Amino acid sequence: MPTSIEEPSWEIGNIVRTEAAAAPRQANLLATLVHIVLGSVSSLFAYVQTRFSARGGGQPAGSGIARRAVSTKAAAKLLAMEAAPANSIDYAMMRRCIELSKETPKGELPFAALVSQDGRVLAESNNSVVRDCDVSRHAELIALSNVQNVTGSRRLRGCTLYTTVEPCPMCSFAIRETGIGRVVYAIRSQVMGGHSRWSILDDHQLNRAMPVYFAPPPEIVADFCVAEAEKVWKDRHPLMWRMIKARGCLGRAP
């Protein structure tokens, strides 16, 4: 019990001083908690926005092989990769490729590809999926394999691949592993393309993570002689081509 009138006043003063000293600490603690909560919400929002930034979803952020997001940065990157100028050799090689697609055997779709070096054709091929009953027998893979057999080398750094249709992801991985220097294609594949749909041909993470196996991205020339290449499909399979175009599988946007 207090022994004098001064003692309660002294105790009350201590309580007031203690509460006053604790107030700043409590305010700092509250500010810290608010900062943490806001940071967590911001991170969650950024994750969700990145996760679903591509049409229809996409791969998790950080994935090197992901569906191309519709963004200014991605568009600029795509345009930069396609800015490589064509030359007279490119026209001659692509026209040969288009003629080759016209010669595709009955039952096969008119895919054709060839590999050249210094203006000389090293190998060329059509699709052989139906004839060989083998889904891996794409024109690009056959042409690349034939060149490797001819040169005795897995690496094709000084070569150019020409193909009437944008390489699919399967072919694109093989192209990157050969280290081929240039890829020139005519018809885009907005659904299956290893360049315009999936970032494989122009993905830098592959060669950074596994430089022993994957070379840096090749120079890319897209939409080259596209009208002539599309005409082959239209003339050969008019009804099928209309369906393909309607579904947006191949070709330029209507």
User: Which residues are annotated as catalytic?
Assistant: 140
Nearest to 122 by CA among 112, 111, 114, 110: 114
In the block, tokens 């999936």 appear at: 198
> DSSP alpha helices (H): ranges in the chain?
6-51, 72-81, 88-102, 129-132, 139-151, 169-178, 205-209, 226-236, 238-247
Q: Residue 150 CB: number of other CB atoms within 10 A? A: 11
Q: What is the SS3 assignment for 162?
A: strand
Q: How many helices (DSSP H) and strands (DSSP E) are in the chain?
A: 9, 5
Amino acid at 37: V
Q: Quick one: tokens of 85?
A: 């100028």
**How long is the chain?**
254
**Contacting residues for 142 by C-beta, under 8 A, at least 6 apart:** 113, 123, 125, 128
